[in-house]
Amino acid sequence: MFHWLEKHPFFFAVGVFLVIAFAGLVEILPNFAQASQPVVGTKPYTLLEMAGREVYIKNSCNACHSQLIRPFKAETDRYGHYSLSGEYAYDRPFLWGSKRIGPDLHRVGDYRTTDWHENHMKDPAGVVPGSIMPAYTWMFTNLADINTAYADQLTNAQFFNVPYNKPVPMKDGTTLTVPMAKSVAEANAMALEEAKTISADMKDKDVQDMVAAGKIPEIVALIAYLNSLK
């Protein structure tokens, strides 16, 4: 039987495929339904947060920062409560990262402010002496892509039943509804409203002028996203 296989390339290929495929089937599939259930307090991303998440991905922030707190004392001391599977239910893609050149960011919204991020993104070494993180000055002039973020939200709602416009349970027993716009025009207006609350806490004059003129720089969206990481 074995010898026969070695002379029949087609059946050989089928054999190889079966051997390599079955690990994936047994290991990965059964976990799927369970792992994607959100925990209480996890809510979908708002439009500006989603746009910020795309800025985060565009600049591969995940190449240097993890979003996964492991259950060790040293980690929970440094970054907060260890990460739970359900907290990632609305993360498409996941952004755990694989290398901490910089610190973990999974709960950065708990201990950093808009103001801190603004200064830090302009001049990391000025805020944290010795930092090897480069400055991300172009984020103060490039505009965030709100339309794509809106399309991202729509895709999440339509294909994956992410509960936009529906109440989700919060930790204090109340519910919270994350609204989603009905049209592109409304989406842009909503994002601008969100952007104004962020830029109000920022010092950069140019950023404030841009937001006042109806434009949203990438940095505003990114900070909205970072603040949402809790």
Partner 1 sequence: MDIFQLQGYAYFGLVTLMVVILYSYIYHLYSSEKKGTKDFEKYGNMALNDEIDDAPVEKISKDEKK
Partner 2 sequence: MENRPLEYDYTVAKMFMLTTVLLGAVGMLIGVILASEMAFPGVNTMLGSLGLNEFTNFSRLRPLHTDSVIFGFTLSGIFATWYYVGQRVLKVSMAESKLLMFLGKMHFWLYILVVAAAVVSLFMGITSSKEYAEFEWPIDIAVVVVWVTWGLGIFGLIGIRRERSLYISIWYYIATFLGIAMLYLFNNMEIPTILATSPAGETGIGAWYHSVSMYSGTNDALVQWWYGHNAVAFGFTVPIVAMIYYFLPKESGQAVYSYKLSLLSFWGLMFVYLWAGGHHLLFSTVPDWMQTMGSVFSVVLILPSWGSAINMLLTMKGEWQQVATSPLIKFMVLASTFYMFSTLEGPIQAIKSVNAIAHFTDWIVGHVHDGTLGWVGFMIMAALFHMAPRVFKRELYSKSLMGTQFWIQTLGVVLYFTSMWIAGITQGMMWRAHDEYGNLAYSFIDTVTALHPYYTIRAVGGLLYLIGFFMFAYNIYKTMTSGRRVEESELQSASPMAA
Nearer to partner 2, 143 or 212 (CB): 143
* Residues from 18 through 77 that contact partner 2 (CB under 8 A): 19-21, 23-24, 27-28, 31-32, 35-36, 54, 57-64, 66, 68, 70-75, 77
CB of 113 to partner 2, least distance (A): 18
User: Is residue 207 a contact partner of residue 117, using CB atoms and an 8 Å limit?
Assistant: no
Nearer to partner 1, 28 or 213 (CB): 28
| 134 cis-preceded (ω within 30 degrees of 0) | no
The residues, any chain, with a CB within 8 Å of residue 114's CB and separated by 6 or more, are 198, 201, 202, 223, 227
Choice from 11, 113, 158, 167 touching partner 2 (CB under 8 A): 158
Choice from 110, 111, 147, 214 touching partner 2 (CB under 8 A): 147
Choice from 154, 188, 215, 228 touching partner 2 (CB under 8 A): 154
Kindly write down the DSSP assignment for every residue of 169-213, as one continuous string.
Answer: E-TTS-EEE----SSHHHHHHHHHHHHHHHHTT---HHHHHHHHT
Structure-block tokens of residue 29:
């599939």
d(CA 52, CA 49): 5
Count of CA atoms in the C-beta half-sphere (13 A) of 181: 22
Q: Does 128 bind partner 2 (CB under 8 A)?
A: yes
Q: Does 71 bind partner 1 (CB under 8 A)?
A: no
d(CA 39, CA 90): 11
* Residues from 177 through 216 that contact partner 2 (CB under 8 A): 181-184, 186-187
Q: Does 3 bind partner 1 (CB under 8 A)?
A: yes
x/- contact string, 33-52, with partner 1 (CB under 8 A)?
x-------------------
Nearer to partner 1, 26 or 74 (CB): 26
Q: Per DSSP, what are the bridge partners of residue 222?
A: none
Place of tokens 């010898």: 3
x/- contact string, 4-33, with partner 1 (CB under 8 A)?
---------------x--x---xx--x--x
Site residues for partner 1 per CB under 8 A: 2-3, 19, 22, 26-27, 30, 33
